[in-house]
């Protein structure tokens, strides 16, 4: 054993400190930017693709729920929904249970476009990971449960 290194130090898990948080944040943002570029092949902005995806997967869905899921202010969401509606990718209608609420639903073309974006993002990611060392790919798979728990924790935060 090296001088100054104890058995406890060697087996201790690395601390998740401010530096680790900053590194994780940078990595997540860069990955998100990289994945969002795939939406441009479908002539959508990253925000439009994300909103369309939320509606296609969860719809019919209340507009207020989309705003909450996507973290978009109502003015911006209104513009995004207007663009998606103009491209005939979604429809908006009154909620059946509450006529004051508005519900968005993906059209058949919106469903197809959203599926193409998801498939393209998956293809890109699989292709890139395939070029990484096997140990790195294995580490990514092992990290998935922790990242999923992190995502869930964000969704439940007050």
Note the pLDDT tens digit of each residue in 51-70. Answer: 999 999 998 999 989 998 88
Question: Does residue 14 register a pLDDT over 90?
Answer: no
pLDDT of residue 10: 53
**Which domains, from first to last, does the chain contain?**
40-156 (1.10.10.10)
pLDDT of residue 113: 95
Question: Does residue 20 register a pLDDT over 80?
Answer: yes
d(CA 135, CA 148): 20
10: number of Cβ within 10 Å: 9
pTM of the model: 0.77
Contact 104, 81 (CB under 8 A): yes
Integer Rg of the chain from CA: 20
pLDDT of residue 22: 94
Question: Does residue 8 register a pLDDT over 60?
Answer: no
71 — alpha (psi -120 to 50), left (phi > 0) or beta? left
């Amino acid at each position: 054993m090296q001088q100054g290194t104890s058995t406890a130090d060697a087996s201790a898990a690395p601390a998740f400190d401010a530096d680790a948080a900053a590194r994780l944040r940078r990595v997540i943002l860069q990955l998100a930017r990289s994945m969002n570029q795939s939406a441009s092949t479908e002539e959508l902005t990253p925000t439009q693709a994300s909103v369309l995806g939320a509606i296609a997967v969860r719809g019919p869905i209340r507009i207020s729920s989309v705003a909450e899921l996507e973290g978009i202010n109502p003015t911006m969401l209104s513009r995004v929904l207007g663009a998606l509606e103009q491209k005939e990718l979604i429809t908006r209608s009154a909620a059946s249970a509450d006529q004051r609420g508005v519900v968005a639903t993906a059209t058949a073309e919106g469903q197809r476009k959203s599926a193409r974006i998801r498939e393209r993002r998956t293809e890109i990611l699989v292709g890139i990971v395939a070029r990484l060392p096997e140990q790195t790919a294995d580490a990514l798979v092992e990290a998935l449960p922790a990242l999923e728990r992190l995502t869930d924790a964000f969704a439940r935060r007050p």
